[in-house]
Structure 1
Amino acid sequence: MRKMFLFLVFLGASGALFSQGGVSFQKVKEFYINGDTRVIGNSILSDHPTRVNNKPKSLNDRTEMQYVDIDDDSDTFSSSSANLDIPADAKIVYAGLYWAATYPGAEGKQKVRNDRMVYDIKKKRNRAFDLVRLKLPGSAAYTDVQGELVYDGVLDTNTDLKNAAPYVCYSDITDLLTSKNAGSGTYTLANVTALEGIMFGGSSAGWMLYLVYEQPEAPLQYMTSYQGFRYISLDEPEELRFSNFRVPETGEVKASLTLAALEGDLLLAKDAVFIYGEKNQEYVPLKTQVRYANNFFNSSITFDDRKYLARNPASNNTLGFDLAKLQIPNANNSLIDNDATGVTLRFKTEEDRLFVFFTAFQTEISSDYYQRVVVEGKEDRLPAKEEAEPAPETPELVAYEKDGTIEDEAPTDTQPDKTENRDPNLQNMLSAASITVEGQPEGYYVVNHVFSNASNASKWARKMENLGFAPKNFVNPENDYHYIYIDFSQDPDALYGRLQGYRKMEDLEKAWILKVNLD
């Protein structure tokens, strides 16, 4: 019996359809191990801070949103929890924390003006959204978690995305969990920032924790994850294709999908996820007893054919946030056949809107493939089966590999080195010497101003806050100058892509990338 698991995360809300926008996907992690994965999460907005919402007709764009806050802690303004269950002998090898929300401002209002319904943002962004607090199982205290910006709609050239201002943040918290011996139990995430009140299209927010763990008796599997931000519009469905593996040669291929989303209203239909069936050369919609083929994203948290309630609050209607795990229908291996080396998904909506920002794929693999290709570094033992190409109705998302930890040396397609095609401006910035600042994480920083005076640095930081950023600063010990930075990453190419967006904004035209603690 072969098992395959697929993990996806989406962000969105009901309302008007957008034109295409966002940033392309990049690979985050890749593993070939005996193990498995888990994903947990919860919403962070509702119509009451602590009570469950079981109203089937509540829509997130007609609900006066409030922060969920279940922890009775005056130091937090939002919090929700979810329970994780993994085997006692499991060894966590990767833990990726994501949080996302619509955040055009702190508060939104709806009113009637000249017989028209209008939406006003009453308060601008007033909190940093890239810093959250995480409480681990058995702990009484929170730990601050600094996020890396994946996407911020404020910086998008698409007007609709700029107005809705969705954001996505990510943090690799593997070291935190392993250092605390964290495993099964309740995880609480606090201080996720979003718009309260009402906004056009509806406000929504949530978080998810994606884990990869090793277990000796578990099957040998291939696992990979991607992050980015892609909008799925009415006329432009998106396709994602996963490769770089080979499923076993014989036996029934079983597959599952896990999905987390800030998107789907319960009553708004016509959104779907499809998988391409190679044998019949057609896309087949995914569904369960609690999720329908034409309304997959329906503001609920479900595992297989049941609702999952091991969380607080355990709302049936999560008002725009979805989390689901389901088996992919594969009778007689009609969708994923033996020896398959790729899987194609399609995401489509005709009424609701979809913001896709995370995907992860997992499958049992051929032991022969693992030994020859992964361990010995040889070519695959035989060419992939002749596969009918999916109809080219939509462009395929290109998933570039991101520099990161890979559990084993994984085979990759022969591609030019990323550095060969770098923009000369980026090359110049990367060729500059790194500065040393004790206590700062090593990596690349988007700096947009340097001051010799602390007071002036603080004033500039406040100006950046008014633009919707969460600026931070450090002092260079060599000259005592105060550096104001608005973004950070350990991947210079991904960061440079965001820098180009920043430079289109007023007061950020001369922002640059600075290396810190890298020499």
Structure 2
Amino acid sequence: MTQHGGITRAANSSLTCETAGRRASGPCAAAQRGAGLNGHHRTAYADVDSDAHTYNSSSARLRIPAGSRVSYARLYWGGTLRAGGQQRAEDIGRVLIAEPGGRYKEVRADTRTGRRTTSATDGFQASADVTELVRKSGPGSYTVGQINVAKGRSPAGSWGGWTLVAVYENSKQPLRRIVLWDGFQPVGQDHRGFSVRLNGLHIPAHSHGRAGVVAYDGDRGRGNDVLSVRSGRHHVHKVRDTANPVHDVMNSTITEFGRQTKRLPAYRNTVGFDSDVFDITPALRSGSDRLTFRFTTANPGYLLGALFFQSDTRH
């Protein structure tokens, strides 16, 4: 898609570490502040709404520039079905969403639901077109509940969350190439990396760009998760920022350019769920028509759910 405007997102985790009382203490408090490995914690559901009928819920603020029109919006949700117990796979294609100031509405997946199982994990991702809802409701705090994820303890960790991606038109912003790729691709479980190639970009001089990544089961603190971007045949740029080290990019964070985003709850360690937006301007080269995103890891691996991208372009 090529238009004046851009792409934005809101996201949050559906889980956190389990606390003994109202307030976290000890290892759980340290984890919520950003420390610890995911598999070391017993998890519990985040539940921020006042609805007794939902067992998990979390919210996040979607920012859309004034004067914009939403041209496309998609909601992704996913997690693990196996931790302290086994969740029903039949329920993974259904979720609840409430727009700013609104009530829950049921959303059902409108594409094939991804599911990957190993000896240690049973992960899934689903998604649905929510353009009309976001176009009418605009910016603000969205709440997503009833994601069918398992809580408890597992050697592989327990993880799950959601990301709302919105593409908008705005005549006052630069002409941009906007791309949304999704799948449910295991990275590293076969000891090989995975690449996504974007073509037809027409990158001009002094172009700016950003890329967002949604991933599941990234292990904080283990290292060796690397995301690199290559423009044409130029040198590879390894993505990093203050919240995502170059060798630990999939480290259970929800950030934008290294900064925490507005959400509830807003724990720094999102126990295996990643939804980050990176500045990839240093990777862009004038005249290039192609970018290659390369995901590699030396760990047991993670699941790549979505990649979204924008950069300045020319006709």
What is the TM-score normalised by the length of structure 1?
0.55
Question: Partner residue of 2:167?
Answer: 212
Q: 1:474: which partner in 2? A: none
User: Does 2:48 align with 1:70?
Assistant: yes
- Once the two structures are TM-superposed, the CA of residue 290 in structure 1 deviates from its matched residue by 2.2
* Alignment-mate amino acid for residue 290 of structure 2: G
* 2:167 pairs with 1:221: no
Gaps of 5+ in 2: 24-28
Match of 1:513 in 2: none
Are the equivalent residues in 1 in contact too, given 2:81–2:89 (CA < 8 A)?
no
Paired with 1:284 and 1:32, the residues of 2 have a C-alpha distance of 24
1:137-161 deviation per Cα after TM superposition (whole angstroms, max 9, x unaligned) = 021x21111113331225xxxxx27
> What is the alpha-carbon distance in structure 1 between the residues aligned to residue 192 and residue 251 of structure 2?
21
* Contact map agreement 2:211 2:308 (CA 8 A) in 1: no
What corresponds to 1:193 in structure 2?
148
Count of aligned pairs:
305
Native 8 Å contact 1:288 1:305 kept in 2: yes
**What are the residue-to-residue correspondences of 1:314-393 with 2, within 5 Å?**
314-330=266-282, 335-351=283-299, 353-367=301-315
Match of 1:151 in 2: 114
> Match for 1:298 among 240, 244, 251?
251
**Compared CA separation, residues 345 and 189, structure 1 to 2 (3 A):** same
Structure with greater strand percent: 2
Name the structure 2 match of 1:288: 241
Aligned with 2:113: secondary structure? strand
Contact 1:221 1:362 (8 Å CA) reproduced:
yes
Find out whether 1:255 has 2:209 as its counterpart: yes
Alignment partner of 1:253: what SS?
coil
CA distance in 1, matches of 2:208, 2:77: 30
1:269 aligns with 2:223: yes
Q: CA deviation at 1:126?
A: 7.3
Equivalent residue in structure 1 for 2:194, among 232, 238, 242 = 238
Question: Which structure has the larger Rg?
Answer: 1
Kept after mapping to 2: 8 A contact 1:196/1:203:
yes
Amino acid at match of 1:99: W
The question of 1:92 aligning with 2:45 is answered no
- Structure-1 separation of matches of 2:88 and 2:114: 16
SS at match of 2:292: strand
Distance in 1 of aligned mates of 2:89 and 2:177: 42
- Cα drift, residue 194 of structure 1: 0.8
The corresponding residue for 1:45 is: 15
Q: CA deviation at 1:38?
A: 0.4
**What is the distance in 1 between the residues matched to 2:242 and 2:182?**
29
Kept in 1, the 8 Å contact 2:115–2:184? The answer is no
TM-score w.r.t. the length of structure 2 is 0.89
| C-alpha spacing 1:289/1:352, structure 2 compared with 1 (3 Å) | farther
Partner-residue secondary structure (3-state), 1:265: coil
Query: Displacement of 1:349 after TM fit?
Result: 0.5
Structure 1 residues 9-42: Cα deviation after superposition (integer angstroms, max 9, x where no partner): xxxxxxxxxxxxxxxxxxxxxx221111101100
Counterpart AA for 1:68: A
CA distance in 2: counterparts of 1:37 and 1:130, whole angstroms:
25
Question: 1:345/1:201 Cα in 2 relative to 1: closer, same or farther (>3 Å)?
Answer: same
Match of residue 136 from structure 1:
99
Q: Displacement of 1:245 after TM fit? A: 3.0
Could you say which structure has the greater relative contact order, defined with CA pairs below 8 angstroms and 6 or more residues apart?
2
- Distance in 2, matches of 1:40 and 1:200, equals 29
Aligned partner of residue 134 in structure 2, secondary structure: helix
Task: Give the residue type in structure 2 aligned to 1:101.
Answer: G
The one-character-per-residue Cα deviations of 1:259-296 (angstroms, maximum 9, x if unpaired) are 232232322111110112546x4423111122211111
Identity among equivalent positions (%) equals: 26
TM superposition shift of 1:220? 1.3
Residue 479 (structure 1) aligns with: none
Alpha-carbon distance in 2 for matches of 1:242, 1:124: 36
CA RMSD, 1 decimal: 2.2
Structure number with the higher helix fraction is: 1
On the 8 A contact 2:109/2:128 being kept in 1, the answer is yes
Query: Which residue number corresponds to residue 372 of structure 1?
Result: none
SS in 2 for 1:299: coil
1:114-133 paired onto structure 2 within 5 Å? 122-123=85-86, 125=88, 128-133=91-96
Change (3 A) 1:301 1:291: same
